[in-house]
Amino acid sequence: MKVFLTHGYFLEEDEKEKIIMKPYPPLGLLYISAYLDEKGIANEIFDTTFSSKNELRQKLLKTKPSYLAIYVNLMTKINVLWIIDFVRGKKELRNCIIILGGPEVRHNAKNFLEAGADYVVIGEGEETLTDLLNTLVERNSTRINDVQGIGFKDEANKIILTDDRTLIKSIDELPIADRKKIDIKQYQRVWKEYHGIDAISISTMRGCPYTCKWCSRAVYGLTYRRRSPKVVVDEIELIIYEYHPDTLWFVDDVFTINYDWMKEFCSELKERKVDIQYECITRSDRMNENIISLLKDSGCYRVWIGAESGSQRVIDYMDRRVNVDQVRDMIHLSKSYGIETGTFIMLGYPGETEEDIEETIDHLKESNPDYFTITLAYPIKGTEFYQQVETDLNNSFDWKLNTDRERVFKRTYAKQYYKQALRRVVNELNYHKAISNGRQLSLRNLNYKARSIIAKAGMYLARKI
């Protein structure tokens, strides 16, 4: 038995990422691959990031895998459906069993099975995929119903969803992600070329115990499980030895969630003389001066502190459970320690008004993070946000052709309004940064202000229309 693992993300198709150029390896697949190896199941990964659809087609036709396991998320769903159609349309691949896993699967299992997938793995993948593959090799059709955490069609073409599998209690027991299965150095080269430094991603935890209404918890639910600092530093040492990265990127949702863990992590690094810069994400309510000091001492050079809005009313409606004043305080305090800061902003959440958007602009000006990202809110199926707007969704949505990003629902203002609002926030903040950092008032900076004013006028016109 040999398993072919892939994910369907093609950098060449992603116009926004081609501007940003900070691609990350498919870390989830690297964990799955390492686990399968540990269980004696041969597998290979075809990393599509720097590849093309044609190369994937040729690889599948040459390999003729018995089992094709594909990771699917919101961004890659359309391409994964294309892969399924390709495999199903080739007689050379008629015996290929297609298995899907990832965050997009749980709330769309029926759709994926109707689209041609043989099985879907719902939730955490390591144990479930292993169990499923072993059962398929045994050709024991009666035992398939006992495999927890899967969906499939039975002999009567009826869709069966088995009970959820219990999550792995101690993730310290999982093998380290097998980065040798793909060309990590290709990612490093791209980062070096575009940013002067490279980064390798690493995970220390699974799940998030917070209840933000827009956030999907399709894989790990509301759980929070973390690897011990010793095991994490073991992996960091291995990464440094094999790849010599300039920085690490911790993909955890809330890196500073546990103060005792942070203290032990910092001590472990110092005792073993591990010196590496890193970037992470956290929440303002899981920060204080002690935590920020630990971040600095352990090598953190940039911390992203979630806000989503500068309006406390909108934050509360999102069930973010953070205070916007505290967000600002933690951004200022982190900067005082010499740590770069970033924050996330979301416009267009249900009930948000123009006054809330102006509060967000004021919040960004006052907190003055080094970086911020901004997006238009969209409802992911299975989230509380989706449930809030489900009755207001436009029925023109075609699941096979659209992603959740393209779901249309009744917002406070028209779509054109938010296009202008996004431009206003970005240009107003670029202008503010230029003058607050003491830069000379140049034509470029005046252009930012002019674009902000024009965008505000566009918001007014869109609102009136």
The confidence score (pLDDT) of residue 59 equals: 97
* Residues ≥6 apart with Cβ < 8 Å to 63: 4, 44
Cα separation of 298 and 284, whole Å?
A: 19
Q: Specify if 443 maps to a domain.
A: no
Same domain, 231 and 297: yes
Q: Specify if 417 maps to a domain.
A: no
Same domain, 132 and 202: no
The confidence score (pLDDT) of residue 394 equals: 84
Q: Specify if 423 maps to a domain.
A: no
Same domain, 255 and 134: no
Same domain, 92 and 153: yes
Cα separation of 374 and 300, whole Å?
A: 23
Cα separation of 429 and 417, whole Å?
A: 18
The confidence score (pLDDT) of residue 54 equals: 97
The confidence score (pLDDT) of residue 438 equals: 65
Same domain, 156 and 170: no
The confidence score (pLDDT) of residue 40 equals: 96
User: pLDDT 10s digit of each residue in the chain, 465 long?
Assistant: 789 999 999 999 999 999 999 999 999 999 999 999 999 999 999 999 999 999 999 999 999 999 999 999 999 999 999 999 999 999 999 999 999 999 999 999 999 999 999 999 999 999 999 999 999 998 877 789 999 999 999 999 999 999 999 999 999 999 999 999 999 999 999 999 999 999 999 999 999 999 999 999 999 988 899 999 999 999 999 999 999 999 999 999 999 999 999 999 999 999 999 999 999 999 999 999 999 999 999 999 999 999 899 999 999 999 999 999 999 999 999 999 999 999 999 999 999 999 999 999 999 999 999 999 999 999 999 999 999 999 989 888 999 999 999 999 989 999 899 999 999 999 999 999 888 766 666 777 889 999 999 999 999 999 988
Of 373, 401, 428, which closes a domain? 373
Same domain, 132 and 192: no
Q: Which residue has the tokens 């964990």?
A: 31
Q: What angle do CA 299, 303, 308 make, to 5 degrees?
A: 170
CB distance 363 to 326 below 8 Å: no
Q: Specify if 425 maps to a domain.
A: no
Same domain, 126 and 18: yes
Of 119, 143, 161, which closes a domain? 161
**Residue 59: CATH number of its domain:** 3.40.50.280
Query: Hey, which residues does 4 pair with through a beta bridge?
Result: 44, 68
> At residue 91, what is the residue type?
K
Q: Specify if 247 maps to a domain.
A: yes
Q: What is the pLDDT of residues 341-370, one digit of tens each?
A: 999 999 999 999 999 999 999 999 999 999
Cα separation of 48 and 33, whole Å?
A: 15
CB distance 264 to 233 below 8 Å: no
Same domain, 68 and 181: no
The confidence score (pLDDT) of residue 441 equals: 66
CB distance 240 to 276 below 8 Å: yes
Give the burial class of 391: count Cβ atoms within 10 A of its Cβ; 0-12 exposed, 13-18 middle, 19 or more buried.
exposed
Q: Specify if 32 maps to a domain.
A: yes
Same domain, 99 and 173: no
CB distance 83 to 70 below 8 Å: yes
Q: Specify if 11 maps to a domain.
A: yes
Classify residue 23 by its DSSP letter: -
**Residue 327: CATH number of its domain:** 3.80.30.20
Indicate the number of domains in the chain. Answer: 2
For 88, 135, 161, 390, the CA distances from 158, given in Å and listed in that order, are 20, 20, 10, 26
The confidence score (pLDDT) of residue 362 equals: 97
* Residues ≥6 apart with Cβ < 8 Å to 114: none
Same domain, 174 and 156: no
Of 161, 193, 217, which closes a domain? 161
Same domain, 146 and 183: no
Cα separation of 387 and 409, whole Å?
A: 12
Q: Specify if 195 maps to a domain.
A: yes
Domain range spanning residue 178? Answer: 166-373
Q: What is the pLDDT of residues 114-165, one digit of tens each?
A: 999 999 999 999 999 999 999 999 887 778 999 999 999 999 999 999 999 9
SS3 per-residue string spanning 100-167: EECCCCHHHHHHHHHCCCCEEECCCCHHHHHHHHHHHHHCCCCHHHHCCCEEEECCCCCEEECCCCCC
Q: Which two tokens stand for residue 107?
A: 């709330």
Same domain, 148 and 179: no
